[in-house]
Structures are given as structure tokens and as C-alpha cells.
Amino acid sequence: MIQRPEYLNKLLGFKDKQLIKIVTGVRRCGKSTLFELYQAELLKNGVLPKQIQSINLEDPAYEKLLEWRNLYQYINSRMLMGKQNYIFIDEIQNVADFEKAADGLFIKKNVDLYLTGSNSKMQSGEWATLLSGRYVEIHLLPLSFKEYHSSAFTGNIEDTFRNYLENSSFPYSLQLDGNKKQIRDYLGGIYNTIVLKDVVENKKIRDVSRLESVIKFMADNIGNLASIKKISDTMTSDGIKMLPLTIENYLDAFRSSYILYKAGRYDIKGKKHLQTLDKYYLVDIGLRYYLLGGKKADRGHILENIVYLELIRRGYKIYIGKIDNKEIDFVTEGIEGIEYYQVADTVADGATLERELAPLNAVKDHNPKFLLTRDFHAKTSHNGIKQLNVFDWLLK
């Protein structure tokens, strides 16, 4: 199993805390494996096997447990008295009224409860409503480049990064040893499950072809500023007439299933969030290749997508920065304050470097500013703006 130390340490940090731990994320991103890694850590530190119960509710063997009373009674009857019990339940949203079972377990003094949820039946707001704030959410993404690199480094960083993009960051893709057909079939299975089960079935969508046209459009426009109306107008001009409300519902469904992420804009001078124009990013670039084949992509926008996901992993709130008529790729808000990030494939050309630095130079505060590129031998500082090789940044 590929080690996921950042996520594992988050779980360990909440061990035995009076909170329900919920791990969310797109299907097949490694939630069950993370639980296995965590359980192995518990056993290594003296927890007895009988103190651990692990239930995957997508396993037909547990079909009877899809009724919340049965689930609660099954777990309760197997707990050890006088010892802490570690309860792991995968895909809890498959149980109607699951919160009743979760609440019953939560109030027990000797239970540490861990849940996963992946599809569009459950969103963050719904967790909050059903579990009344008694939980902490750990959002899991597919493999970071650092995690991928630790298992699949080819000896050349550029080659490894290209494999990471084209062969997918979903963990099981590494087991397919670069076999393009098998990887495509594997990604097809993930995509069809998300689209047909999580989105079409749960949202009662009738026109699947229109739904797919929207996700393909978004995959082709990652990193581009867009509004719902602009998307509608563009698709209509391409011969696919679709109302803005329909597109908005489709985008919300894809975001609920964690296949698509949205970054809103922030006016740096006015210090306010803007309601117009957002950017969208895919959870995995391999899915872009699956959806669009060999259609050429903007390398800078692909890199921007990777940086965006990495900033999520590192726990930042992320916005697109606006200052006057200029745009900063990412304004991040974290524990240590505000940071600014500009992302470019290369700034070896002087005019390109000047264009990428201009938005950062327009910001007059003293918060850290970074320019991330694939250039290896570049000047490391420009008037206080740190230029970093993006591979070094991703692997730190």
C-alpha cells in the first residue's frame, strides 16, 4: 500500500478525541486504504484486534446492516467492555438515517468512530446538519505528486510528472504499470460510476449526454475564468442549447461528487469576495485525458490544476485574486496568514516573466508571494517574490 503520511497523521492527531472522524473524497481516492493504514498503526501501538471493527457497506456481506438499527446492534454486540473500541464504517451514506446509529455509538464513552462518505448523497453541509457539529471532516484527494513520486519515480522528474498526469493520480493506477489501455478502462469505470450512480441516479437526471457534454467542456477549460451564463452561451454556440440553471445544477452535482472543484474570486484591494466569474479544476488530470483523448491542453493551466489541488491538501482556503485589471492565480488563507501564488509553465522568456510578475508586484502588502514554474535554473527572487521550481515545491 502507498503510504499517505499527511492524512494518517491527521487521523492520529484526532485519535480518541470526542469527535466523529469523517473522511470524504471522490470514489477510489483511497479512503478504505487510509483506514487500513490507520488500523495497522493502532495494532502496532498495542490496540488489540478485537478492539477494531471495520465494515464496508458496499460489501454485500453487510447488506443487512443497511438499516440503521441493525448496524447499531451489530456493532454494539461485538464491542469489548472496559476497553476503547475503534469503529470504522465505509460509505455510511448508504444507510438511511445513519445519523441515528452514529449518534448511538458516539455517546458511548469507549467508542472512537470513523466514517467515510464519497458520493453526492452527502455534502459537507449535510454532515453538519445530521451530526450537529460533533464531527471533524478530513477531505481526501487522490495521490499528490509527492506520494506518487515516492512509489513511481522513473529516475527523471519530468518523465515521472508526465506519467502522473497521463496515467492518473488515482492510487490503483500504479498497479497497472503504465498500461494505457488498462488505465483508460480503469478511469472509465471510475467516471461511469460517478456519473451514472452518484450524479444521474441521485440527482434524477434524464439527459446523460448533456450532462457529459458539460463535464467535457469543464475538463477542456480548467483554469479559465467562467460564469454559468458564459458556459451556457458558449455551449449554445457549439450547438448544445442548455439553460444556465441546468448547467448550474450539473456543476453542483459534479462538485458534490468531488470530481470538480470551484475557486471563487477575491478583490484584493477591496477586500471582498466577488460573485462573478469562477475557475474550475478537475480532481485528477488523468480524467481529462480519458474525457478528451489527446486534445491539446494549455500546459500552464494543467500545472495550475495540480497546484490548486496541492494547496487544498495543505489545508488552505483558496481564491482567485483580482487586483485592478490583473489576476493572481491563487490567494490562499491559512493558519499563518495570506499568501499569493502565480503559476506558469516557464518564464524563460523575459516578456513572459514580466507578465507573470506584474500582478504580484501590484500587491503592496508584505505577505509572501511565490512564482511557481517548471524552470530549473532561474533567478530565485524578484523584488521579494520567490521563484520556485514547482517540482521542488510539490515534493517538499
The helix-helix angle for 145-152 and 157-166 (nearest 10°) equals 110
Mean of pLDDT values over 94-104: 94
25, pLDDT greater than 60: yes
Of 9, 2, 1, residue with least CA distance to 313: 9
Q: What is the pLDDT of residue 281?
A: 98
Measured CA to CA, the distance from residue 140 to residue 35 in angstroms comes to 12
Q: What is the pLDDT of residue 121?
A: 57
Measured CA to CA, the distance from residue 356 to residue 339 in angstroms comes to 16
Q: Which amino acid appears at position 27 of this protein?
A: R
Q: What is the pLDDT of residue 122?
A: 59
| Per-state percent for the chain, helix, strand, coil, to nearest 5 | 50, 20, 30
The pTM score is 0.95
Give residue for cell 500546459. 299
pLDDT mean across residues, the chain: 94
Give residue for cell 489576476. 327
Measured CA to CA, the distance from residue 85 to residue 93 in angstroms comes to 22
Lookup: cell for 68: 440503521
Instruction: State pLDDT tens for residues 192-227.
Output: 999 888 889 888 898 999 999 999 999 999 999 999
78, pLDDT greater than 70: yes
- Categorize the per-residue pLDDT at 125 as very low, low, confident or very high, splitting at 50, 70 and 90: low
Q: What is the pLDDT of residue 83?
A: 97
119, pLDDT greater than 70: no
From edge to edge, which strands make up the β-sheet containing 317-323? 272-282, 260-267, 317-323, 326-334, 337-343, 369-373, 385-389, 381-382
pLDDT exceeding 90 applies to what percent of the chain? 89
Instruction: State pLDDT tens for residues 303-345.
Output: 999 999 999 999 999 999 999 999 999 999 999 999 999 999 9
Range 170-190 burial, b when 16+ CB lie within 10 A, else e: bbbbbebeeeeeebbebbeeb
